[in-house]
Every structure is written in structure tokens, then in C-alpha cells.
Amino acid sequence: MRAVDLIAKKRDGAALSRDEIRWLIASYANGTIPDYQMSAWAMAVVWRGMDDRETADLTMAMAESGDMLDLHDLVPLTVDKHSTGGVGDKTTLLLAPMIAAVGLPMAKMSGRGLGFSGGTVDKLESIPGLRTNLSAEEFRHALSTVGLVIAAQSGDLAPADKKLYALRDVTATVESIPLIAASVMSKKLAAGADCIILDVKYGSGAFMHTPEAARTLAQTMVAIGKHAGRRVAATISSMQQPLGFAIGNALEVREAIAALRGHGPDDLVELCLTLGTQLVRLTGLRDNDAAARSLLQEALTSGAAWQRFVQMIAHQGGDLRFIEEPELLPTAPVQLNLMAPQSGYVAAIDGQALGTVCNQLGGGRQRKDDRIDSRVGLVLYAKVGDAVNNDMPLVTIHAASIPDAERVIPQLRAAYQIASSPVAVPPLIEEIVR
């Protein structure tokens, strides 16, 4: 086979066979096909798309390019969760302990920040001492002793996706439903979970901008998972505004800790209960939404989820003083309030703009190996629909220096729309795809 023929075939709108896709991915992973040919093929996919069979074949080819974890010698059934990425999205920090607390083993491989959206591993690493780069043995040991582990993605899991993703990031080929679906699902399938809940986000703070695009992505990923013999469901949730009130690594850990102790923001807790309900139902532990939800609610209110979080942090080397007294977590030296420009009602918050501001403050990476500043970020005081007065702060900027904080003020001002009359609050959960 020749790469140039497969690029031309996709450019002309034809479907590649399973053998052609497997050959392409294997040859790219082993370095036989150069980046320039692979980017030409990826761009052809962006324009021409892939049918369901091709997307499933691409997913399996990338999943099988590295280790396929099998954890059944440790636990009878494992569960996993994936979010397509958003701003202020700290759901894993709350949902994973809730799920483990109801007796479902959660072995989660998480990512670092990508573009304007944060990553669970970066957030967790703001807890001094905590390790997320676990060896395969450490990962397995944590699962069998604590029933909960959150680790950075190992290099041996779906390495073809890792290489292709880095290429797509710099060749404007991320925004393709088949490529995103195959990228996400290849990692989920390789990580070995039996039951998977996907949180597909749409809105200004997400990769998918409309509910329709999010629905197509959700349906594609659910179909791939089922085809591979896994139990999968997806929620379509709004990223029309950030989730919760905190954006930034240590700030988000603080907010997740508050939620685990029963003081969480409503939207974060509601999303975790919804995702958890679907996951509990997928496992068969409860057979209806109400029963699954009350099981999870009980894990939260009884403190069982918080205890499980503490055990996980301790097992992964984190210093417990920092979660028992979260005010000890890294704190930015400068905290500057941005006042509401006028009295009225918050009509819109541009999540992507807020995520970008957080990155510019040092909370994300501009280049792959940049160090991030876990102290910086934003704390919001009002969400869409809330009334604001012009003598109250809209947001506190947590920055490393006063010039850093002042530099982002124009972008922050532009990210908010204030209306003079009351505004309807958009629904958080649009739909469940099963």
C-alpha cells in the first residue's frame, strides 16, 4: 500500500477499508509514514468525514497500537468517565470518589490541560506530594486496595492516538467528529473499563459549539463503545458558561473539596449526580434513575465519598494537610476584584475566553513542556441569570503579579454580557444518549 493512494482516496470522498486504516495507523505509529502525509490524510477526513464502520475501525486500530489493559484479575467490573473538555470542569474530582464510595471500582486515566480547557491531572498535582505518573503495578495496586485511582495517561496506551493528536493540534484538524470520537474512544477502550459514561459538552467553553454537534459526537462514541462490547452512555451538557465558580488548578481542587464536604456549587453537584446515575445504571447496581441517584446522594451526604477521596490522595502520596485544610493549597499572591460594569442580570459568560485568561495567567500551557502555575485562576461571583449590582465584584483574578492581573481585565470585561431585564437560565443537561 502507498500512503499517497489512501490520501487521494479519502480526498475524493471514498471510504477506506479496514485493512487500509490498520496499515495507515500502524505505519504512522512506527514512523514509516511521515507527519506531512498523515496531516494531509487528517485534513481530508476533516473535509470528507468517515462513515460509522471506518470510525470504528480507526478507533480499534488506535486502541490496539499499544497496551490493552485488562483489570479483571483484580476487580470483576471497572467503570470509567470521560469529559470532552470544558472550563472549570472538575467533575472527575467529585464523581470518581462518589462512584468508588458506592462500591464500583474506578480506574481512571486522565489528561492534562488542552488549549483553553483544563485537565484533571494538572488540577490534582496542585496537592503537594501527590503523584499521578504511576507505573502499571502502582495503578493496579491502588485499584485493588483503594478501589479508586486517577493517574496520568501512560505512554503505552493508544500511542498512535497520542502521536496523531499532537499532529492534529498543530494542523487545524482537531475539529472533526470521527477523529475526536476515535481519539477519545481508543483511549477508553485501551484503558479496559467495562462501563463508560461520556460527558459531551457543548457551548462557548467546549470543542462542540452546538447541542446538535454534541449529539452527533455522543451518538458516534456510544455506537463505537457498544460495537466493542462495552456498556456506554453519554450526557450532553452545557458549557455555555463555566462549571461551578472556580477556574484554575488549585482553586478547582478547593471547590471540589467543598463539594465533597457537602458545600458544592449546585451545577457541579447536579452534573455529577446525573453522570453517576447513568454509570450506576450501566453497571446494573440499580435499575432505575431514582434509586441510583439516591445511592450517590447518600455517598455524598454521609461523607463516604469524601473519605474515599482522602484515601486516594493518601495512597498516591498527597499530603493530607492540604486537603483537610484547603486554604493551605498554593495561593496566588495577588487577588484583584473586577467589579460589575453596571447593575442588571448576567446574560452570558464566554467560557472559552475565561479559560484562555486562566491560561494567560499561567494556569495552562502555551507549549507542551511549559510548567503551570497551580495558584492562578478566576473565582466568579455570578452565573448566567444572577442579578448583579455595580458595587459588587463579578470575578476575583488570582495572579502571580499585579501587571499579570491587570493585563487580563479587558478580556474578562468582554467575556460578560449584562442585561437590564431578567434572563432565563439555560438547562445544564440537554439530553442523555444511551
CA atoms of 369 and 374, how far apart (whole Å): 15
For residue 290, the minimal CB distance to ligand URA (Å) is 32
Binding mask 64-93 for ligand URA (x = CB under 6 A): --------------------xx--------
From 27, 39, 80, 82, active-site residue: 82
For residue 216, the minimal CB distance to ligand URA (Å) is 14
Question: What residues pair up with 346 in beta bridges, in sequence order?
Answer: 418
Phi, psi of 185 (to 5 degrees): -70, -30
161 flagged as catalytic: yes
Query: What does 243-311 look like in DSSP terms, one character per residue?
Result: SSSEESHHHHHHHHHHHHTT---HHHHHHHHHHHHHHHHHHTS-SSHHHHHHHHHHHHHTSHHHHHHHH
Tell me the residue type at 5.
D
Q: Which is nearer to ligand URA, 62 or 338 (CB)?
A: 62
Question: Do residues 3 and 27 make contact, with C-beta atoms less than 8 angstroms apart?
Answer: yes
For residue 46, the minimal CB distance to ligand URA (Å) is 12
The reply on whether position 180 binds ligand URA by CB under 6 A is: yes
For residue 345, the minimal CB distance to ligand URA (Å) is 33
* Cα distances (Å, whole numbers) of residue 274 to 129, 195, 215, 233, 298: 32, 15, 17, 11, 14
Question: Do residues 396 and 378 make contact, with C-beta atoms less than 8 angstroms apart?
Answer: yes
From 57, 80, 122, 161, active-site residue: 161
From 27, 183, 186, 204, active-site residue: 183
Q: Which is nearer to ligand URA, 180 or 353 (CB)?
A: 180
Tell me the residue type at 7.
I
From 90, 112, 168, 254, active-site residue: 168
What contacts 376, CB < 8 A, 6 or more positions away?
248, 332, 358, 361, 362, 363, 398, 399, 400, 404
- Segment lying near ligand URA (by CB under 6 A), choices 175-183, 257-265, 282-290, 382-390: 175-183
Q: How many residues does the chain have?
A: 434
117 flagged as catalytic: no
Residues that contact ligand URA, how many (by CB under 6 A): 8
Question: Do residues 357 and 380 make contact, with C-beta atoms less than 8 angstroms apart?
Answer: no
- Segment lying near ligand URA (by CB under 6 A), choices 61-69, 94-102, 129-137, 172-180: 172-180
Q: Which is nearer to ligand URA, 85 or 113 (CB)?
A: 85
362: DSSP letter: I
For residue 286, the minimal CB distance to ligand URA (Å) is 30
The reply on whether position 174 binds ligand URA by CB under 6 A is: yes
C-alpha cell at 280: 450506576
Site residues for ligand URA, 184-213, by CB under 6 A, read 184
The reply on whether position 183 binds ligand URA by CB under 6 A is: yes
- Segment lying near ligand URA (by CB under 6 A), choices 61-69, 88-96, 173-181, 292-300: 173-181
**Residue 331, burial from CB neighbour count under 10 angstroms (0-12, 13-18, 19+):** middle
Which residue lies nearest ligand URA, judged by its C-beta?
Answer: 183
For residue 179, the minimal CB distance to ligand URA (Å) is 6
What contacts 375, CB < 8 A, 6 or more positions away?
126, 248, 249, 250, 330, 331, 332, 333, 398, 400
Angle at 276 between CA 102 and CA 192, to 5 degrees: 85
108 flagged as catalytic: no
Q: Which is nearer to ligand URA, 90 or 281 (CB)?
A: 90
Q: Which is nearer to ligand URA, 174 or 228 (CB)?
A: 174
- Segment lying near ligand URA (by CB under 6 A), choices 5-13, 59-67, 176-184, 393-401: 176-184
* Chain contacts with ligand URA (rule: CB under 6 A): 84-85, 165, 174, 179-180, 183-184
Residues designated catalytic = 82, 161, 168, 183, 187
